[in-house]
Structure 1
Amino acid sequence: MPRGPGPAAQRWNGAGRGDDARRGRAASSGPAPAQAAPPPRFDAPTAASASVPPTTPRAAASARPTSAASAAPNPTRAAATPGETMTSVKRPTLEQLKSIVSDLHMSMSDREVGEYLEVLEGTFQSYDRIAALPDNLPAVRYPRTPGYKPAASENPMNAWAVKSEVRGAAHGPLAGKRIVLKDNVCLAGVPMMNGATSLEGYVPDVDATLVTRILDAGGTIVGKAHCESFCLSGGSHTSQSGPVHNPWKYGYSAGGSSSGSASLVGAGEVEMAIGGDQGGSIRMPAGWSGCYGMKPTHGLVPYTGVMPIEATIDHAGPMTTTVADNALLLEAIAGPDGLDPRQYNVRVDRYTAALGRGVAGMRIGVLVEGFGHANSEPDVDAKVREAANRLRALGAHVEDVSVPMHLDGAAIWTPIALEGLMAQMMHGNGMGFNWEGLYTTSLLDAHANWRSRANELSRTLKVSMFAGEYFIRQYRGHFYAKAQNLARQLRASYDEALSRYDLLLMPTLPMKATPIPPQNAPLALWCQRGFEMLANTCPFDVSGHPAMSIPCGLSQGLPIGAMLVAKHWGESTIYRAAHAFEQSADWREL
């Protein structure tokens, strides 16, 4: 039986989240740490790290010890970009301002442009002052080492990006737990590339809020896990460090985009991981790799310090080997931090209290539109129906329910994701504009480099960019705006069903894990393997409802995931049913 939290968890209140933070106000960042020396160099990954098959799938590989003890007792912020601190800004030349005038569809003489240049000098002096002031960033508090890129012998699934060690507080609910981070999460002093060569060499200078909360809760962060290139794939074949393999069947997809996180948890190398989810990227790899993946309610977990794609669909959440660990990790990272505009009216619960309560009296609606898709595999649909029957046998009232608009969910998601990623992640260098909170300026500066290396971007990102840019240019953002309007209607349709049922149940993915395509695969196959599985997951990124993939059986040696969806802030309801199902049988034998 998985263990629940002990007395330490009951005493712990979540360091750094006092009354001010719970009310959504930012805590003081404290004095800025001193500037660190340039980060150490990393060895380049070898081709063998992605091509040597493991001796046994799911064999746990021990991490090489790192010299955490040698880290400075008061760690300083690592340099994220080369060069000295900027103290003034360059003035535009006459030709540069003439180009801007032309790009803004205006006509001016050189004399007029010159006059504007003179008038702008006072504005530039304000920018000089901002350039000279130190940035206002949270202090980095726990010693750490930059880690190392593991050799193929200790990275059989190519799931590890970096092995490192950051020990948290001596006591707390996560004491003794080993956690890996998706490589789009900022961990100060440890390299991050988000699956893309254009970001390779970037070293964050801040810890994501969820990193600080894990460490404050006593957890040990043991490294970073590979993810898909800029998180734009539901398959595990697009990382520019090579494909990530399924822990149950080498050569098959682990799911994406939190591919390395799922593979490491599914293989038993770590108990807990952090994933990110904009279209299903926690739940899909959890479904294919055989672990528990929770996409929380939008805004429940602060996204601060995680590389964004599109703010209205950005989510971060836990991926674990057990339901109890999932609830425990969510307890540690949930709640407002005052720095993330995605968070409003956040409602936090004690999620571990839901464990062991059973499902007697619960009403579960089996979403008929979640089954029988054109690419659905009969054994997947059958296993999820069997899971529904098991929940019925455990005492829940289970019946079919129809939400016709679910079939439009993926279409509504598409303009939001594609036009949104162009506006925020690409044109906006990840951060975008028009929001208050913590801007990770070093990441913004590093990611802006994509323009000089655009040919290196993954094919799944390129096809997404082409579509998003076309509709922005030709239709002025009309379809993004209309999709956001329709998102309210989609959300209301799920809310109506959830007013009658405690949970909705459906397959996480319509099919089992697919073979990893070769690097020279045709474009159509490459992109198909990246996007063919989103139909049930991406609508809930748009609607913001909490949704969790739970393993419900094996077919042909591959895991199958069932997805549970609850009302907003209803994560405890999901954990109640997921735990009852988990305790009723070993899913590997179903």
Structure 2
Amino acid sequence: MSVFFKEASPNNPVKKGDVENVLKRIGVAINDQDSDDFNQLLAAVHDCAEHISELPDYQPIPDVKKYPRENVHRPTADQQDFGNAWAHKFLIRGDSNGSLLRGKSVCVKDCIAVAGVPQFYGSDAFPAWTPSTDATIVTRMLDAGANIVGTATCENFCNSTSSFTSAQGTIDNPYRKGYSAGGSTSGGAALVGSGLVDCAIGGDQGGSIRVPASLCGCVGFKPTHGLVPWTGITSGDAIDDHAGPLTRSVYDASLFLDAIAGNDGIDDRSFASGSHGSHGYAESLVKWNGQLPSLAGVKIGILREGFDPEVFDPKVKEVVLSAASKFQQLGATVEEVSIPSHLEGPAVWTIQQRISGSMTILGQAHGRRGLYLTEFEHTRLPWTTENFQKLFPSTQNTIINGLYLMDKFPGLYGKTVNLGRKISDDYERTLSKFDVLVMPTTPYVAPQHGSRGTPRQCFEPSIGLTSNTAVFNVTGHPAMSLPVGFAPAKEDSKVLLPVGMQIVGGLWQEKKILKVAHAWETAFDWKATATANGCPDKVVSGGLKENGWSKLNESKLNGQGKIEISELTVQS
């Protein structure tokens, strides 16, 4: 502590009255007789801060000789896909000796650091900043043999589940132009859903992997909090941050999870995640070799509250219940379960994210050991009216809400953390009796793009989209969106768009989710949708794949091919 009592330097800018001005911000004052002492102490800490500011930062140094960045460029209009899915295109060739991901193409969300590649973070409120380091997961994928081919556009400050909020432009759904790709991993979901890349690595703070995966017809996996290190990724709230893969198959998701999971010795979120390369997700999946997958002994819970909110489209419920019923054909037990606290998830998440999100945006995030992206902080701070007004309304709203809540509701953030633990305990109790829980990922299929009009108009297209996803960021449970069929768009019943089924497991139980999802995907073709009399408003989940096995044994089904789940009853 002696450093704080050193005499201030001659050029120290702290002057009489500065202490009083600092304290005015929180509405308190000091005794007049103490003013000079506190000013001297403030001057001393200013000198200490100046000293730290002049020291070189300590960032991991990427091996750009082994992994050179080739042809980094902002794509022109004719080089773009799905409107504006690419933030930057380039090529970083993976290790030719890497076998796990050899030949796989990857794009990373434009909030994941790639040294030498400018990052927009979905905004134009400040100049693009260029990281000097690679995120841990970037290095791990290159070591595993993957080729990284670009950064994919993300939504404004990763603060929306729509795909029209990015300052870099709108991203179209790969299944229908003019419809949302979801967010905030919007560009990556469109590129994977269309087949242009094998994998996109996204970030998920409230559904930003699973929502776009659901809307774009791909697999999106948010693992247990901390399984994948967040090192080198721009944060929302450290306790909600999750990184994971979007792929076209469950098996590919398992490969990429093997490549990126595990403690990196930097991010304290990852310290309990086990050593890198030790998880064996891909090898845990059975290769059925043309045989009907078996889920004998597996118990699947249909979460009643996951179908409750009024915002849910009945046709989406129908598709997901139909898909869930098919687990019985594979030998699993399927039962309805109830966890009432699930419905508190959106409110708990909203308060938590508004407070912590505003502090992060304002450069006040603290309290975690890890890699802080100080270059980014220097680029975007301090905030001014000019750059604040360039933010999309959802990001502006986060700041406004957060400042208000911190002023009017002291201690509320801490209470959301406590309540989140309560909800987590409720899930864990149920998941001690069931292997996984199932519900719709999103309450409706991709909506049409919204309008950049009033703040309220900007929010309308995505209202309720995270009803089933955000709560699992609060609790940290692993959750996957699996495509299981199609349902008609709200705006046009002739437009059919993908439906995702969310599969949730216990903490650190990724293998159970992968097993269940892999079996469903192996047995059923989600794109082979059935219709009743050709009417798209009767769409149900995909049909049985023709993999060489004979007609299903009807004795595996209840009665006449029905699954009875209280009032949640559909034809299988």
Q: Which amino acid aligns with 1:443?
A: F
**Matched position secondary structure for 2:502:** strand
Task: Give the match for residue 133 of structure 1.
Answer: 55
Q: Which amino acid aligns with 1:289?
A: C
Task: Give the match for residue 397 of structure 2.
Answer: 463
Task: Give the match for residue 484 of structure 2.
Answer: 552
The 2-side partners of 1:309 and 1:473 are apart by: 20
The 1-side partners of 2:372 and 2:479 are apart by: 28
Structure 2 residue corresponding to 1:202, chosen from 129, 137, 141:
129
User: Does structure 2 conserve the Cα–Cα contact (< 8 Å) formed by 1:310 and 1:425?
Assistant: no
Aligned positions of 1:553-572 closer than 5 A: 553-556=485-488, 557-572=496-511
Q: What root-mean-square deviation, in Å, do the aligned CA atoms of Structure 1 and Structure 2 show?
A: 2.0
Task: Give the match for residue 94 of structure 2.
Answer: 168
Task: Give the match for residue 156 of structure 1.
Answer: 81
Task: Give the match for residue 284 of structure 2.
Answer: 354
Task: Give the match for residue 255 of structure 2.
Answer: 328
Larger RCO (CA under 8 A, 6+ residues apart): 1
Comparing 525-534 with 258-267, which one deviates more in the overlay?
Answer: 525-534
Aligned positions of 1:123-522 closer than 5 A: 123-141=45-63, 142-145=67-70, 147-157=72-82, 158-172=84-98, 173-347=100-274, 349-356=279-286, 358=293, 359-428=295-364, 432-451=365-384, 453-476=387-410, 478-520=411-453, 522=454
Q: CA deviation at 1:518?
A: 2.5
User: In 2 relative to 1, CA 384–90 (structure 1 residues): closer, same or farther, beyond 3 Å?
Assistant: farther
Comparing 281-290 with 446-455, which one deviates more in the overlay?
Answer: 446-455
Q: Which amino acid aligns with 1:156?
A: D
The 2-side partners of 1:163 and 1:89 are apart by: 47
Structure 1 residue corresponding to 2:475, chosen from 543, 546, 554:
543
User: Does structure 2 conserve the Cα–Cα contact (< 8 Å) formed by 1:236 and 1:516?
Assistant: yes
User: Does structure 2 conserve the Cα–Cα contact (< 8 Å) formed by 1:403 and 1:493?
Assistant: yes
Q: CA deviation at 1:277?
A: 0.6
Q: CA deviation at 1:319?
A: 0.5
Residues 280-333 of structure 1: per-residue CA shift (max 9 Å, x gap): 110000000000000000000001111101011111100011111110001010
User: Does structure 2 conserve the Cα–Cα contact (< 8 Å) formed by 1:372 and 1:381?
Assistant: no
User: In 2 relative to 1, CA 396–160 (structure 1 residues): closer, same or farther, beyond 3 Å?
Assistant: same
The 1-side partners of 2:312 and 2:73 are apart by: 41
Q: CA deviation at 1:89?
A: 9.4
The 2-side partners of 1:120 and 1:380 are apart by: 59
User: Does structure 2 conserve the Cα–Cα contact (< 8 Å) formed by 1:146 and 1:191?
Assistant: no
Q: CA deviation at 1:94?
A: 4.2
Task: Give the match for residue 524 of structure 1.
Answer: 456
Residues 511-556 of structure 1: per-residue CA shift (max 9 Å, x gap): 0110001223x43232122342111001111111100000001223
User: How many residue pairs end up in the alignment?
Assistant: 497
Q: Report runs of 4+ in structure 1 exceeding 4 Å deviation.
A: 93-98, 111-122
The 2-side partners of 1:420 and 1:227 are apart by: 20
TM-score by length of 2: 0.83
The 1-side partners of 2:340 and 2:55 are apart by: 54
The 1-side partners of 2:296 and 2:462 are apart by: 39
The 2-side partners of 1:569 and 1:222 are apart by: 30
Task: Give the match for residue 78 of structure 1.
Answer: none
**Matched position secondary structure for 1:553:** strand
Q: CA deviation at 1:366?
A: 0.8
Q: CA deviation at 1:108?
A: 6.5
Q: CA deviation at 1:503?
A: 0.5
Residues 10-38 of structure 1: per-residue CA shift (max 9 Å, x gap): xxxxxxxxxxxxxxxxxxxxxxxxxxxxx
Q: Which amino acid aligns with 1:525?
A: Q
The 2-side partners of 1:118 and 1:524 are apart by: 49
User: In 2 relative to 1, CA 445–379 (structure 1 residues): closer, same or farther, beyond 3 Å?
Assistant: same
User: In 2 relative to 1, CA 95–190 (structure 1 residues): closer, same or farther, beyond 3 Å?
Assistant: farther
Q: CA deviation at 1:96?
A: 4.6
User: In 2 relative to 1, CA 542–119 (structure 1 residues): closer, same or farther, beyond 3 Å?
Assistant: closer
Residues 150-186 of structure 1: per-residue CA shift (max 9 Å, x gap): 1222313111111011122222111211100001111
The 1-side partners of 2:90 and 2:383 are apart by: 27
The 2-side partners of 1:586 and 1:156 are apart by: 26
**Matched position secondary structure for 1:316:** strand
The 2-side partners of 1:227 and 1:530 are apart by: 15
Select the structure of larger CA radius of gyration: 2
Q: CA deviation at 1:424?
A: 2.7
The 2-side partners of 1:146 and 1:462 are apart by: 35
The structure richer in strand per residue is: 2
Q: Which amino acid aligns with 2:395?
A: L
Q: Which runs of 5+ in 2 are unaligned?
A: 1-9, 288-292, 489-495, 529-541, 543-572
Q: CA deviation at 1:444?
A: 1.8
Q: Which runs of 5+ in 1 are unaligned?
A: 1-87
**Matched position secondary structure for 2:190:** helix
Q: Which amino acid aligns with 1:127?
A: A
Comparing 441-450 with 478-487, which one deviates more in the overlay?
Answer: 441-450
The 2-side partners of 1:571 and 1:316 are apart by: 14
Comparing 190-199 with 309-318, which one deviates more in the overlay?
Answer: 190-199
Instruction: State, as a whole percentage, how many aligned pairs show the same letter.
Output: 39
Q: Which amino acid aligns with 1:99?
A: N
User: In 2 relative to 1, CA 512–470 (structure 1 residues): closer, same or farther, beyond 3 Å?
Assistant: same
TM-score by length of 1: 0.80
The 2-side partners of 1:426 and 1:301 are apart by: 26
The 1-side partners of 2:11 and 2:216 are apart by: 49
